[in-house]
Structure 1
């Protein structure tokens, strides 16, 4: 699939599900790694990750297109277009768009948990990527001291 075919699909999905025209550009962006697509606020263009289409097929791509079109149409109408806004959540559920996209194998870097701390008071465990200064920070539940386990 090339960018012209993607543009046509986005326009069709916009007309069918939103009953509104899509008047900007849609294209694949090979630099996207951790997301299926994105809506550009200034230009109103949409960009999509080609690997999601190649790995998971047309149904996954349509779900991502619906998600990005929710951002697009709500922003154009000066309504809540962000993920936490009620307008966005309502419109996304009405059109059946995907809330999250699937993870493409090898795209997201998983960082290892290197440091584990335990509360001396309540025994809660805290796993962190970065080291914590135990003289400055305390347990968020009981305010007890933290002890490094590993």
Structure 2
């Protein structure tokens, strides 16, 4: 991974990448992450698996924009004009594509609003005396324990 990031950095940014780039399987909803403390780049391995090399290269360019601007003391945050300008110039991805949902996981608790039928799958138990439905503000009821997500229809 580090070799690929180094080659993209020299070809696209004409600057060396001197730190580590690695896969992080714990990344779930993001394509990658630039760590400010140690300047390493982490990439979601599911990105390559589900979307292929072109999307992976777009995310690598995005993270390299953070990397190079941070080391050059430029505006490295998403809101900064320097970042937006460099990202557009290099052809990096502005957003990572959505990750597919994980395998059919088990939900420990399933709460349903008896009034509007809104479903609330939860890993932890919630206090139904304190928390109410977000749609209609009615009290929730615990209806299931250890339910598969595929059994819950929206």
The normalised TM-score by structure 1 is 0.69
1:94 aligns with 2:89: yes
Kindly indicate which of the two structures has a greater share of residues assigned to strand: 2
1:19 aligns with 2:41: no
Structure 1 distance, partners of 2:3, 2:28, is 24
Q: Deviations over 1:6-60 (max 9, x none)?
A: 1111000000000000000000000000100000000000000000000010001
Q: CA deviation at 1:132?
A: 8.9
The normalised TM-score by structure 2 is 0.67
Structure 2 gaps of 5+ residues are 103-117, 119-132, 138-154
2:37 corresponds to: 42
1:51 aligns with 2:53: no
1:63 corresponds to: 58
Structure 1 gaps of 5+ residues are 1-5, 108-113, 115-128, 134-150
Structure 2 distance, partners of 1:76, 1:88, is 13
Q: Say how many residue pairs are matched.
A: 108
Q: CA deviation at 1:104?
A: 1.7
SS of corresponding position for 1:101? coil
Q: Deviations over 1:110-129 (max 9, x none)?
A: xxxx5xxxxxxxxxxxxxx8
- After the TM superposition, which parts of structure 1 deviate over 3 Å for at least 4 consecutive aligned residues? 129-133
